[in-house]
Amino acid sequence: MRAAAFSDLIGPDGVEIIEQDDPEPGAGEAVVDVRACSINRHDLWILQNDSAMVSEGATPFVSGLDVAGVVSETGDGAGVSEGDRVLLCPNQTCGTCEYCREGPENLCQSFMLFHGGLAEQAAVDAHRLIPLPDEVGFAEAAALPTSYLTAFHMLRKAEAGAGDLLFVPGAAGGVGVALVQLTDVMGARTIGTSTSAEKLSRLESLGCDHTVQSADVDEIESAVWEIGQVDATLNHLAGEYTKLGLKVLKRGGKQVICGRTAGPKCEFDAAPFFLGHNEVIGSTMGTQPELATLVDLVADGGFEPVVSRTYSLEETGRAFADMEDREAFGKLVVEP
Ligand SMILES: NC(=O)c1ccc[n+]([C@@H]2O[C@H](COP(=O)([O-])OP(=O)(O)OC[C@H]3O[C@@H](n4cnc5c(N)ncnc54)[C@H](OP(=O)(O)O)[C@@H]3O)[C@@H](O)[C@H]2O)c1
Ligand SMILES: [Zn+2]
């Protein structure tokens, strides 16, 4: 079978199509014919040699977390059948640590993610497969696991509810668009930012109530103050946006952080933070039952995951270049 492997961790030019042996399912595993695999900033960090999870010695490396497809072979005790349409929950947990026992599972002390979806086939833990109803297409399904699941879990940690005002800096990517759509579904209001006027008008059509075209934190801060104080900031950028995200919170408001696209570090003033009773909360992925809920929501017409472009396996490098160049809106999906 063919796979789009990271042969050199030098960015999008390091992607190469390689031939690999067809995978065989072990006990409890299934082989899935990959119909769609979305890409994430997480894969791009690996490809840019900026990830603690994968080092240069691990090349050629087949990344790709978000797999939707059809079961083609099963191992003993897999509990799924050939021909089943499925979506993989990429969570990998030990199942035995105190966090796994008490939940939620994404707290597992050995928490890891599946990699290997950017290929024609993938051998996966069959217990991580969620049945995919016919109403949900493969590309739409593949958009869900990393971006929408993370967004959903962040909103729950923020205790966001109907009528709240939520601030999403960088609202036009995978996690950003997911936050805007899920916020709209729950009846809350969003303020979203992007540097692109075109992306902002697409966000408005998805239910984003207020848009700010800027990447400048001072400019954004003034614009947000004019709209109102926010109940929660949902932040996948970090860096200088962390301080901004705190400054615009109302008293008791929360900032949930899941990423570091704008840098891992930030200084902020402790006094207004504690006097305002604010909270900063870290969040990573979500749980398999939450992902199943999202699949049900899509099947019931609650929202349509935004896939702005699909690519063949040979075009995988192009997909990463589009993400790197900030050409993407919502999700980019490879269809092997
Ligand atoms: N912890 C977790 O479980 C988890 C899960 C998913 C993602 N993440 C993290 O969340 C982040 C977003 O991931 P994603 O896949 O949604 O990425 P993405 O699709 O590439 O996000 C694109 C968005 O980020 C903005 N952006 C890109 N570079 C920027 C920069 N240097 N400064 C400010 N804004 C910038 C873009 O702005 P424009 O619209 O102006 O182009 C766009 O709105 C990443 O850090 C990722 O690692 C974490
Ligand atoms: Zn565990």
Pocket test for ligand 1, best of 66, 106, 175 (most atoms within 8 A of CB): 175
Q: Percent helix, strand and coil across the chain, each rounded to 5?
A: 35, 25, 40
The rounded Å distance from CA 99 to ligand 2 centre is 6
Amino acid at 171: A
Q: pLDDT, tens digit, for every residue of 122-146?
A: 999 999 999 999 999 999 999 999 9
Backbone angles phi, psi at 163, to 5 degrees: 85, -15
Q: pLDDT, tens digit, for every residue of 267-277?
A: 999 999 999 99
Amino acid at 203: L
- Do both 275 and 291 map to the same domain? no
Rounded to whole angstroms, the Cα distance separating 65 from 116 reads 7
Ligand nearest to the CA of 151: 1
- CATH classification of the domain holding 211: 3.40.50.720
Question: Residue 54: pLDDT above 90?
Answer: no
Indicate the helix (H) or strand (E) that contains 112.
strand 112-113
Q: With pLDDT > 70 as the criterion, what percentage of the chain qualifies?
A: 100
Going by C-alpha positions, the residue among 238, 233, 242 that lies closest to residue 167 is 233
- Do both 97 and 141 map to the same domain? yes
Contact 178, 190 (CB under 8 A): no
**What average pLDDT does range 138-155 have in this prediction?**
98
Rounded to whole angstroms, the Cα distance separating 35 from 157 reads 32
- Do both 23 and 113 map to the same domain? yes
C-alpha angle 330/41/261, rounded to 5°? 100
Nearest protein Cα to ligand 1, atom 46 = 259
- Do both 214 and 176 map to the same domain? yes
- Do both 50 and 199 map to the same domain? no
Going by C-alpha positions, the residue among 140, 170, 166, 146 that lies closest to residue 298 is 140
**Dihedral sign for Cα atoms in the order 321, 325, 327, 331:** positive
Mean pLDDT of the chain, nearest integer: 97
Rounded to whole angstroms, the Cα distance separating 242 from 179 reads 17
**What average pLDDT does range 62-78 have in this prediction?**
98
- Do both 141 and 14 map to the same domain? yes
The rounded Å distance from CA 66 to ligand 2 centre is 21
**What average pLDDT does range 47-53 have in this prediction?**
92
Structural domain boundaries, residue 125: 2-146+285-335
Asked whether the whole model's pTM tops 0.95, one would answer: yes
Question: Residue 52: pLDDT above 90?
Answer: no
Q: Which residues line ligand 1 (CB under 6 A)?
A: 40-42, 146-147, 150, 170-176, 194-196, 199, 215, 236-237, 258-262, 284-285, 323, 326, 328
Number of domains in the chain: 2
- Do both 263 and 156 map to the same domain? yes
- Do both 9 and 142 map to the same domain? yes
- Do both 258 and 292 map to the same domain? no
- CATH classification of the domain holding 293: 3.90.180.10
Nearest protein Cα to ligand 1, atom 31 = 262
Give the gyration radius of the chain's Cα atoms.
20
- Do both 196 and 108 map to the same domain? no
- CA atoms within a 13 Å half-sphere pointing along the CA-CB vector of 277: 5
Indicate the helix (H) or strand (E) that contains 212.
strand 210-213
- Do both 164 and 277 map to the same domain? yes
Give residue 55's pLDDT: 77
Start-to-end CA span in the chain (Å) = 10
- Do both 29 and 89 map to the same domain? yes
Rounded to whole angstroms, the Cα distance separating 237 from 259 reads 6
Give residue 53's pLDDT: 82
Confidence of residue 266 (pLDDT cuts 50, 70, 90): very high
Rounded to whole angstroms, the Cα distance separating 319 from 284 reads 24
